[in-house]
Amino acid sequence: MTPLQRRSLLLAPLGVAAVGGAAFWMLLDRMSEGTYDPHSLPSMLIGKPLPDFSLPGEAGAGFSSADIVAGKRPALVNFFASWCIPCVQEAPVLMQLKQRGTPIWGIAYKDKSHDTDAFLQEHGNPYTRIARDQPGTTAINFGLYGVPETYVVDSTGIVRWRWAGGLSDDVVNQYLNPLLQRLA
Amino acid sequence: MKLVSALLLGMLLVAPAYAVSDPAELLPNRAQELRAEAIGEQLRCLVCQNESVEQSDADLARDLRHIIRQRVVAGDSDQQVVDWMVARYGDFVRLRPPFNVTTLVLWLAPGIALVAGAVAVFIARRRRPVAVAPLNEAERQRLADLLNS
Is A163 exposed, middle or buried, given 0-12, 13-18 or 19+ CB atoms closer than 10 A? buried
Average pLDDT rounded to a whole number, residues A146-156: 95
- Distance set, CA B96 to CA A95, A144, A173, A177 (Å): 42, 21, 37, 37
CB B87 to CB A145 under 8 A?
no
Closest CA to A140 of B126, B64, B140: B64
Q: How confident is the model at residue A156 (pLDDT cuts 50, 70, 90)?
A: very high
CA B30, CA B26: separation in Å to the nearest integer?
9
- Supply the pLDDT for residue A7: 81
Q: Which residues of A touch B (CB under 8 A)?
A: 39, 41-44, 110, 135-137, 140-143, 145-146
Q: CB within 8 A of A104, min separation 6: which ones?
A: A75, A76, A77, A78, A94, A97, A98, A126, A127, A128
Average pLDDT rounded to a whole number, residues A120-134: 95
Please list the residues that pair with B44 across neighbouring strands.
B52
Strand A104-109 and strand A75-80: pairing? parallel
- Distance set, CA A159 to CA A128, A163, B38 (Å): 18, 12, 33
CA A77, CA A71: separation in Å to the nearest integer?
13
Residue A183 pLDDT greater than 70, yes or no: yes
Average pLDDT rounded to a whole number, residues A79-86: 96
The answer to whether residue B26 neighbours chain A at the CB level (below 8 Å) is no
Radius of gyration of chain B (CA): 31
The helix (H) or strand (E) run that includes residue A129 is strand A129-133
How much is the pTM?
A: 0.77
Residue range A17-33, pLDDT digits in tens: 999 999 999 999 988 88
DSSP A175: I
% of residues, chain A, pLDDT over 70: 98
- A40, A41, A52: best mutation site toward chain B, by most B Cβ within 10 Å? A41
What is the full per-residue pLDDT of chain B (149 aa) written as tens digits? 677 777 766 666 665 555 556 677 889 999 999 999 999 999 999 988 889 999 998 999 999 999 999 999 999 999 999 999 999 999 999 999 888 888 898 899 999 999 999 999 999 888 877 778 888 999 999 999 999 87
Question: CB of A65 within 8 A of CB of A156?
Answer: no
- Supply the pLDDT for residue A20: 95
Average pLDDT rounded to a whole number, residues A40-44: 87
- Supply the pLDDT for residue A24: 94
- A134, A140, A144: best mutation site toward chain B, by most B Cβ within 10 Å? A140
Residues of chain A neighbouring B46 (CB-CB closer than 8 A): 41, 145-146
- Supply the pLDDT for residue B126: 86
Residues of chain A neighbouring B92 (CB-CB closer than 8 A): 41-42
- Supply the pLDDT for residue A1: 66
- Supply the pLDDT for residue A128: 93
Closest chain A C-alpha to B7 CA, distance in angstroms: 39
Amino acid at B81: V
| ipTM value | 0.82
- Supply the pLDDT for residue A37: 79
- Supply the pLDDT for residue A11: 87
- Supply the pLDDT for residue A154: 95
CA neighbours closer than 13 Å in the CB half-sphere of residue B113 = 6
- Supply the pLDDT for residue A66: 95
Question: CB of A110 within 8 A of CB of A85?
Answer: no
Residue A166 pLDDT greater than 60, yes or no: yes
